[in-house]
């Protein structure tokens, strides 16, 4: 079969019928020597006229459009339409073509107004959503913080009443019992506020992680002093340390929340003194929080770290079901692992493992 | 002789209650509504101990602590901070600026009193 001969199409027929506006300008005089039908239609829109568009008109508008000239340069430009309170977004690509000694700039122009409008509306929606998100987080943070002032005033007033009744020898068992109830509810409400605040920062992904070399023994001493000393039931946290203490690389604040929560649970679900064991092994730190309390039924263990999930045997013991989900999230954010072992009515043990970072292992 | 405590707290409900509580334990209590007033009262009355909030108008607790530590007549007065924040950074900051102890809000008065007794007998 005879090979088909290639057909040479006339220049104007090819470019002239393209749906994309094309303008050719002579360099360096800036004289526009060609514009296809699509370009003429576009520039008619840009000039906002009913008469035929001349190449000289295109030259003037093109001068405005061309912020950048050069080979292969593409840029976006917003062109206002005179007499109308509107504009067009254009994507302009300039290419330099040489013909002998003559140089020409070829402009390919695409009307991207529809795409740009969608883009801008998406950006606006995203910004609005971001700002609503921030408002929501700030509101939760502000509300939790502001709730603490009246809570403190209530708890201090209760302390004042109790002290005055005691000093006047009027504190009978009835007053004592009910004052303790109010006081205990205030601190439960405070714990709930802290948990809701922490969970809201996790959910909104606003949580900042500031890892540094942390002395875990010191963190435990701080939380013991802050939350678990001078208890009304005189129970204490028994801390046992073995191995040569080393620092781990973690977020101090998150570590403090992990231990406060686990130790708080150990006090809440048992009647004896909880034990916190720190084992500084060769390559890792193993932390165990143990109690001899009510334990966790086996069927609850798989769901224990889910938000709002509470064991089936804790009716009558207050809690939000948020604490352990926060603990797991924080352990994992700090590259640790957490395990739970429990037997009903015998007790529970949580084991957390943090590996030392290479530089700390090497230094040790 | 009664020991004098300067209580710096901008919420009158809380400062009134704490003042009454401390007075039941025979302390003489002077109240200031912000850090600036606190520094002024401390210079005038030379209290045995200061209990101060952190977030207050005019001069906050951290800046007040700095002024205390720079003043030779005030730098040896023990300062206990009351903070609504439980973030360790907040507490570390207070201790770095020279606080001698802290209690997080809400607190049990017994705990606050135990800390007070460590500094003044």
pLDDT in tens, chain A (364 residues): 555 565 666 777 788 888 899 999 988 878 899 999 999 999 998 888 888 888 888 888 888 877 644 455 888 888 888 888 889 999 999 888 888 888 998 999 999 999 999 999 999 999 998 888 777 767 776 776 778 888 899 999 999 999 999 999 998 999 989 998 898 888 888 888 888 777 777 776 667 788 888 999 999 998 888 778 777 778 888 999 999 999 899 998 889 889 999 999 999 888 889 999 999 998 899 999 999 988 888 888 888 888 777 777 666 666 667 888 889 989 998 999 999 998 888 999 999 999 887 765 444 4
* B84 to A145: CB separation less than 8 angstroms, yes or no: yes
How far apart are the C-alpha atoms of A251 and A231, rounded to whole Å?
28
| pLDDT at residue number A6 | 58
* A186 to B106: CB separation less than 8 angstroms, yes or no: yes
Helix/strand/coil for A127: helix
B14 touches chain A (CB under 8 A): yes
Decide: pTM greater than 0.90: no
* Long-range contact set of residues B95-103: C-beta below 8 Å, sequence gap at least 24: B97/B62, B97/B65, B97/B66, B97/B69, B98/B65, B98/B66, B98/B68, B98/B69, B99/B65
How far apart are the C-alpha atoms of B66 and B87, rounded to whole Å?
21
Q: Which helix or strand (DSSP H or E) is residue A151 part of?
A: helix A113-167
Q: Which helix or strand (DSSP H or E) is residue A252 part of?
A: helix A252-268
Closest C-alpha among A109, A142, A83, A88 to residue A25: A109
Q: What is the ipTM of this complex?
A: 0.88
| pLDDT at residue number A119 | 92
How far apart are the C-alpha atoms of B21 and A258, rounded to whole Å?
34
**How confident is the model over B77-86, as a mean pLDDT?**
85
| pLDDT at residue number A136 | 74
In our burial notation (b when 16+ CB lie closer than 10 A, e otherwise), range B27-38 reads bebbbbbbbbbb
A191 touches chain B (CB under 8 A): no
Those residues whose C-beta lies under 8 Å from the C-beta of residue B46, and which sit 6 or more positions away, are: B4, B73, B77
How far apart are the C-alpha atoms of A354 and A329, rounded to whole Å?
14
User: Which residues of chain A neighbour B106 with C-beta distances below 8 Å?
Assistant: 148, 151-152, 154-156, 186-187, 190
| pLDDT at residue number B49 | 96
A108: exposed, middle or buried (C-beta count within 10 Å: 0-12, 13-18, 19+)?
Answer: middle
C-beta of residue A320 within 8 angstroms of C-beta of residue A189: no
How far apart are the C-alpha atoms of A161 and A159, rounded to whole Å?
6
Segment 131-160 of chain A within 8 Å of chain B by CB = 145, 148-157, 159-160
pLDDT tens profile B22-37: 999 999 999 999 999 9
| pLDDT at residue number A363 | 47
Q: Class assignment of domain B4-119? A: alpha beta
| pLDDT at residue number B29 | 96
* Closest chain B CA to residue A251: B88
User: Which residues of chain A neighbour B89 with C-beta distances below 8 Å?
Assistant: 252-253
How far apart are the C-alpha atoms of B13 and B29, rounded to whole Å?
15
A167 touches chain B (CB under 8 A): yes
- The number of C-alpha atoms within 13 Å of A49 and in the hemisphere containing its C-beta is 11
Give the N- to C-terminal CA distance of chain B in Å, as an integer.
Answer: 11
Spell out the domain ranges in chain B: 4-119
Nearest to B17 among A148, A160, A167 (CB): A160
How far apart are the C-alpha atoms of A90 and A113, rounded to whole Å?
7
Closest C-alpha among A173, A181, A149, A175 to residue A162: A175
Closest C-alpha among A290, A208, A347, A144 to residue B89: A208
How far apart are the C-alpha atoms of B25 and B3, rounded to whole Å?
10
CA geometry: angle A195, A285, A348, nearest 5 deg = 55
Peptide bond into B106 cis (omega under 30): yes
Closest C-alpha among A231, A298, A230, A293 to residue A262: A293
- B15 to chain A, minimum CA–CA distance in Å? 9
B26 touches chain A (CB under 8 A): no
- The number of C-alpha atoms within 13 Å of B34 and in the hemisphere containing its C-beta is 7
Closest C-alpha among B108, B83, B76 to residue A230: B108
Closest C-alpha among B118, B108, B31, B45 to residue B78: B118
C-beta of residue A214 within 8 angstroms of C-beta of residue A334: no
Nearest to A152 among B107, B111, B114 (CB): B107
Give the N- to C-terminal CA distance of chain A in Å, as an integer.
Answer: 83
Crossing angle of helices A252-268 and B88-96, rounded to 10°: 110
Q: Regarding predicted confidence, which is higher, B106 or A307? A: B106
Domains and CATH numbers, chain A: 11-111 (3.30.450.20), 124-207 (1.10.287), 209-364 (3.30.565.10)
């Amino acid at each position: 079969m005879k090979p088909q001969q290639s057909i040479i199409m006339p220049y104007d027929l090819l470019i002239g019928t393209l749906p994309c506006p094309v303008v050719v300008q002579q360099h360096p005089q800036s004289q526009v020597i060609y514009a296809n039908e699509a370009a003429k239609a576009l520039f008619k829109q840009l000039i906002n006229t009913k008469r035929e568009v001349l190449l000289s008109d295109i030259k003037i508008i093109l001068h405005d459009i061309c912020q950048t000239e050069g080979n292969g340069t593409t840029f976006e430009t917003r062109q206002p339409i005179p007499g109308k309170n509107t504009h067009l977004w254009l994507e302009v690509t300039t290419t330099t073509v040489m013909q002998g000694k003559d140089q020409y700039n070829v402009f390919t122009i695409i009307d991207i107004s529809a795409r740009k409008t969608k883009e801008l509306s998406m950006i606006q929606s995203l910004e609005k959503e971001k700002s609503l998100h921030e408002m929501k987080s700030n509101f939760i943070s502000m509300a939790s913080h502001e709730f603490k002032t009246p809570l403190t005033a209530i708890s201090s007033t209760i302390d004042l009443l109790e002290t005055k009744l005691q000093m006047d020898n009027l504190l009978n068992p009835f007053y004592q019992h009910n004052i303790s109830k109010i006081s205990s509810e205030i601190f439960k409400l405070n714990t709930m506020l802290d948990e809701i605040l922490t969970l809201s920062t996790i959910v909104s992904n606003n949580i900042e992680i500031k890892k540094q070399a942390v002395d875990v023994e010191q963190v435990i001493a701080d939380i013991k002093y802050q939350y678990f000393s001078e208890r009304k039931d005189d129970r204490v946290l028994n801390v046992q340390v073995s191995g040569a203490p080393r620092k781990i690389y973690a977020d101090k604040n998150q570590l403090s929340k992990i231990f406060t929560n686990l130790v708080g649970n150990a006090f809440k679900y048992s009647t004896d003194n909880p034990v916190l064991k720190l084992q500084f092994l060769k390559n890792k730190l193993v932390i165990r929080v143990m109690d001899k309390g009510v334990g966790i039924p086996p069927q609850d263990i798989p769901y224990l770290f889910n938000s709002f999930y509470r064991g089936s045997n804790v009716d009558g013991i207050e809690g939000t079901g948020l604490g352990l989900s926060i603990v797991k999230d924080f352990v994992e954010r700090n590259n640790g692992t957490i395990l739970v072992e429990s037997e009903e009515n015998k007790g529970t043990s949580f084991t957390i493992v943090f590996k030392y970072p290479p530089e700390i292992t090497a230094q040790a | 002789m009664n020991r004098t405590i300067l209580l710096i707290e901008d919420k009158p409900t809380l400062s009134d209650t704490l003042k009454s509580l401390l007075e039941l334990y025979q302390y003489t209590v002077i109240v200031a509504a912000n850090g600036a007033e606190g520094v002024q009262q401390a210079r005038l009355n030379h209290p045995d101990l200061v209990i101060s909030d952190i977030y207050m108008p005019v001069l906050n607790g951290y800046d007040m602590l700095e002024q205390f530590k720079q003043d030779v007549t005030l730098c040896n007065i023990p300062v206990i901070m009351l903070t609504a924040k439980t973030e360790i950074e907040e507490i570390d900051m207070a201790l770095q600026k020279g606080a001698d102890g802290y209690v997080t809000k809400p607190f049990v008065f017994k705990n606050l009193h135990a800390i007070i007794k460590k500094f003044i007998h």
